[in-house]
Structure 1
Amino acid sequence: MTTKIAGGLEHAFATQGFAAPSVEDLRDAAGVSLRTLYKYAPSRDAMIRMALEHRHQRYLAHVFGATSASSRQSLHETLDRVADWMRTQASHGCLFHAAVACAPDDRALRQRLETHKLEVSQLAVTRAGADIAPSDVMVIIEGLTQAWSLSGEAALASAKRLATLAGAEGAQVK
């Protein structure tokens, strides 16, 4: 039930933004009664957190797959998968950044954004077996994500060039 609700909420916020959807819109998107929605997410903030957690898990599965944390994946492959996410799921940018932009003083949302970005960059470095700082990988992935709506495939090519310049282009399997 929670996956269904979280997925519906994620879709509603991703397509309508965080301010526009009414509680009734969110209920309809979740496909449950208002009572059930409030049982699992008793406030709009809780609905946003539920949607972002769902998004985070889907993103990790899309970018890194269902394989174990010790599986190898080059940084270029990670960038290809991020680009595929942008093509198919998030052509308008990062939902986490959008949430913080709508509530810039919400420390919990900002912390969720930071945690998401840190986990993604650390996992990318670990999977690549690369000798590159997670903060550098974060900048490369964020650059790709933010530039996607303007540059599309050219943003992917630039991100790969930056990864190569940083010495992590293929991140040889150790």
Structure 2
Amino acid sequence: MTRISAGLERAFATGGFAQPSVEDLRDAAGVSLRTLYKYTPSRSDMVYAALEYRHRRYLAHVLDDLPRDPRRAVLDLMDRVGGWMIAEASHGCLFHAAVAAAPGDARLRDLLERHKSEVAARAAAATGLEGREVALLLIVEGLTQTWPLHREKAVSSAKLLAQGLLGS
């Protein structure tokens, strides 16, 4: 299932949520149509599988093994988000894009909320900013949304803002 989810994630990240046909998704997953439907019985299930996979990868890339020192951790966190944007998401957040493509889908909105809540909680714990989860998430989200326009300047600005949280 991991290989299927990885292929689906790549297909949606590159082609958006409306563009790829089921045949494109099958090819990206590298399986037969029968196998694709066995594990993801509907196109919605394909989107959910891709986003669940993306969620796990993002958490591992951005939050696993951050330094214990809060000041160093907050700087590394912003660098990792910037690195993620370079390698994986130069157009912005895939979760927000999914909700924008299907605004009435409550399951997608729940997945978005769970993803952002978990990012905020883990980031706050890793940086010593417990109780400041919303402020830290605002900085991370601002970085992901401004990345397409400002790239490294967005990372530098996010670092300054996050360091300000530590000092306040």
**Which bracket does the TM-score occupy, shorter chain normalised?**
over 0.9
Q: Is the 8 A contact 1:132 1:168 kept in 2?
A: no
Structure 2 residue aligned with 1:86? 85
How far apart, in 2, do the equivalents of 1:111 and 1:89 lie?
Answer: 22
| SS class of match (1:104) | coil
Instruction: Give the alignment of 1:19-168 within 5 angstroms.
Output: 19-65=18-64, 67=65, 72=68, 74-167=73-166
Q: Is the 8 A contact 1:62 1:85 kept in 2?
A: yes
| SS class of match (2:163) | helix
How far apart, in 2, do the equivalents of 1:109 and 1:30 lie?
Answer: 21
How far apart, in 2, do the equivalents of 1:55 and 1:155 lie?
Answer: 22
Bigger shift: 56-65 or 44-53? 56-65
| Greater percentage in helix | 2
How far apart, in 2, do the equivalents of 1:101 and 1:130 lie?
Answer: 30
Q: How far 1:166 sits from its partner (Å)?
A: 1.9
Bigger shift: 160-169 or 115-124? 160-169
So what's the TM-score if we normalise by structure 1? 0.90
Q: Is the 8 A contact 1:75 1:168 kept in 2?
A: no
Structure 2 residue aligned with 1:172? none
Q: How far 1:148 sits from its partner (Å)?
A: 0.2
Q: Is the 8 A contact 1:132 1:167 kept in 2?
A: no
How far apart, in 2, do the equivalents of 1:124 and 1:75 lie?
Answer: 8
> Number of matched residues?
165
How far apart, in 2, do the equivalents of 1:150 and 1:46 lie?
Answer: 32
5+ long unaligned stretches in structure 1: 170-174
So what's the TM-score if we normalise by structure 2? 0.93
| SS class of match (1:166) | helix
Q: How far 1:130 sits from its partner (Å)?
A: 2.5
Q: How far 1:164 sits from its partner (Å)?
A: 2.0
Q: How far 1:131 sits from its partner (Å)?
A: 5.0
Q: Is the 8 A contact 1:75 1:125 kept in 2?
A: no
How far apart, in 1, do the equivalents of 2:138 and 2:7 lie?
Answer: 30
Go from structure 1 to structure 2 and tell me whether the alpha carbon gap of 1:10 and 1:161 turns closer, same or farther (over 3 Å shift): same
RMSD: 1.6
CA deviation vs aligned residue, 1:36-84 (integer Å, no higher than 9, x gap): 000000000000000000000111111123x4x9x73611111111111
Q: Is the 8 A contact 1:62 1:81 kept in 2?
A: yes
5+ long unaligned stretches in structure 2: none
Percentage identity across paired residues of the two chains: 56
How far apart, in 1, do the equivalents of 2:164 and 2:103 lie?
Answer: 34
